[in-house]
Chain A
Amino acid sequence: DSGVTQTPKHLITATGQRVTLRCSPRSGDLSVYWYQQSLDQGLQFLIHYYNGEERAKGNILERFSAQQFPDLHSELNLSSLELGDSALYFCASSAALLANNEQFFGPGTRLTVL
């Protein structure tokens, strides 16, 4: 158990819909990262927040957005869902900002878009 929690575990929805994935980092960790894992693209970095501020963006679509709240939990919002958005979504947390901190990953949310 990494100490990172993600809800829900599974989500099934239809094309065009909007969903919110939630992540609670390990106690005390200020950084939250979101990754997407699909069969064809592998594990890809989406976005990084540190203490409530966006720090870096990866291959995140404009239909996706995220935020980190004052209590440090984070939400990833996916809208106008397409079949290709079906994937595992992981969040990870780390203690600080710098690159040498290991990231602890949550169990993931499996999103299925029908």
Chain B
Amino acid sequence: DAKTTQPPSMDCAEGRAANLPCNHSTISGNEYVYWYRQIHSQGPQYIIHGLKNNETNEMASLIITEDRKSSTLILPHATLRDTAVYYCIVRALTGANSKLTFGKGITLSVRP
């Protein structure tokens, strides 16, 4: 699986959009970008994933650059409950080895 790079931390004000960047410059054509988050020692929670098109669900939007070397997770209206560690993970679609490889993630702090 390709390696990802995320800044260690960021913060944003409650109610504002949180834009979390991720670099994955060595991503291969068959690799998806996944985002999970972990709220204070709880089990990680799936947020969203995508291949090359932008994706949106009820939690977030995922914007992937045209060259697929980076992506941004957008939480449109951050709340205090969104304070968590966010992990950007790249993994291949095919194959039976479907483990998740977590890096250090980015710690998002939402301030009142």
Contact = CB atoms under 8 A, between A and B. Distances in A.
Nearest to A100: B93
Q: Tell me what chain B mostly uses at the interface: helix, strand, loop, or mixed.
A: loop
Given A92-B43, A105-B44, A106-B43, A100 B97 contact: no
Interface stretch (B11-19, B21-29, B69-77, B99-107): B99-107
A108 interface: yes
B99 to A, nearest CB: 4
Interface centre among A45, A101, A103, by most chain B C-beta atoms within 10 angstroms, is A103
Interface in A48-103: 48, 50, 55-56, 58, 88, 90, 92, 94, 97-103
A105 B43 CA distance: 5
A107 B100 CA distance: 17
Nearest to A90: B43
Interface residues of B, number: 25
A99 B101 CA distance: 12
A21 interface: no
**Interface band, chain A:** 20 to 34
Contact of A56 (B38, B41, B46, B96): B96
B112 interface: no
B49 interface: yes
B98 A94 contact: yes
A10 to B, nearest CB: 12
Interface of A: 2, 4, 31, 33, 35, 42-45, 48, 50, 55-56, 58, 88, 90, 92, 94, 97-108, 110
Given A43-B102, A48-B98, A92-B43, 17 more contacts: A42-B102, A48-B97, A56-B98, A56-B99, A90-B44, A97-B96, A99-B93, A99-B94, A99-B97, A100-B32, A102-B34, A102-B46, A102-B49, A103-B100, A104-B46, A105-B45, A108-B42
